[in-house]
Amino acid sequence: MPCFQLRSTRQALAATLAVLVAGALSAATTVEPLATGAAMPDFNLPAVDGKQYTPASFKDAKVLAIAFTSNHCPTAQAYEARLKKLAADFKPKGVAFLAVNANHADAVRLDEMGYTDLGDTFEELKIRAEHQNFNFPYVDDGPEQKMTAAYGPAATPHMFVFDSKRRLRFQGRIDDSERADLVKEQTTRDVIEALLAGREPPVTQTKVFGCSIKWKDKTEDNLRWLEKVAQEPVKLERADAATLEELRANAGTDTLRVINLWATWCGPCVSEFDELIETNLRFRHRDFELVTVAAQFPQEEAKVLRFLKQHHASTRNYIFGDSDKYALLEAIDPEWNGALPHTLVIAPDGKVVHRQTGALDFLELRRAILPAIDAISPWPASGK
């Protein structure tokens, strides 16, 4: 499972930025979509199934439908099931589908991933495809974005439908609403059915709606944002039993609260701390709060604060404010056996929706966080 550690992320982005400064970046931030009737531009990209895909991979298809998409975009996620349905319905009729990740992974800011469990790296594409049981190839154009620049998608998702001669016959939306219950026009389906019947498509292009393409020259903006985050103030307070009980109750907040109990001398706590902070950066613009509690004696306050500053922990941070650790353990979580690290995900009503003692599985944590936040404030396009 990939780790997006804050310090290592800045180093990776700095390396990418050096490439930009050297003038090696050719992709433009805005491109025009391929013109109707144009020949299919070439591509040669790796897929999550371990294969390499080119236009020749689909030489027998009567129609080839290409969806430029991404992992992190909630609009793209809303269309995954519908794209799978299209692929299942039309495969017996000789239609092939190809999904293309259009985004450069380092150009996606952490706060742009507040609606997703996964980013847009190749390893994460593999996880998404397996988890969602994609019935079409999923290739990665993110590192160079040559295919994306040649085709010109405006957002994710964006469809490009080619006929048997591999001429573009349609580019635009899958249908006319992110919310499946509001769909009135099955645009891509209607186009494909027309082509299979030998008719002209009812429409050749439409507008699209979704997340903008994250071109790799946006990496510089991401680096500046990370540097700004690193300058946020870091504070540490002492917590007595009453404070911990209040944190645990999470009453009247309308906020999902994640509490992580850790210590500077705890190896797993230290090794996962950067990714914990990045979890906060992902979700903090939603109804979410991360609270860290150092399970150490009050006399160690200076040492704990120094560690927090080194790791840019601009979260709500506490240290045990009493030497009776067992009373504090009981106050924060009666079910906790005292082993570190220990993490709680608590709904506004005080219900623990996720509990983990030991090193965190961050993918599992994000998959616990997302539905819990959505229950508080659903993504508008979900219709909930």
All structural domains of the chain, each given as residue ranges with its CATH number in brackets, are 6-220 (3.40.30.10), 232-382 (3.40.30.10)
Kindly indicate the confidence band of residue 379, based on its pLDDT and cuts at 50, 70 and 90: confident
User: Is a pLDDT exceeding 80 seen at residue 381?
Assistant: no
User: Is a pLDDT exceeding 70 seen at residue 337?
Assistant: yes
DSSP code per residue over 156-205 = ESEEEEE-TT-BEEEEE-SSS-SSGGG----HHHHHHHHHHTTPPPS-SB
How far is Cα 174 from Cα 185, in angstroms, rounded to an integer? 9
Q: State if pTM tops 0.85.
A: yes
84 compared with 5, residue with greater pLDDT: 84
CA angle 69, 70, 71 (to 5 degrees): 145
Whole-Å CA distances, 87 to 81, 96, 100, 130, 137? 10, 7, 14, 16, 11
Mean pLDDT score across all residues of the chain: 92
**Is residue 102 within 8 Å of residue 208, measured between CB atoms?**
no
Kindly indicate the confidence band of residue 30, based on its pLDDT and cuts at 50, 70 and 90: confident
The sheet with strand 316-320 has its strands ordered as 237-239, 316-320, 288-294, 256-262, 342-346, 352-357
Residue-wise pLDDT tens digits, 53-101:
999 999 999 999 999 999 999 999 999 999 999 999 999 999 999 999 9
Please name which of 99, 78, 90 lies closest in space to residue 176, comparing C-alpha atoms. Answer: 78
User: Is a pLDDT exceeding 70 seen at residue 175?
Assistant: yes
User: Is a pLDDT exceeding 50 seen at residue 25?
Assistant: no
4 compared with 37, residue with greater pLDDT: 37
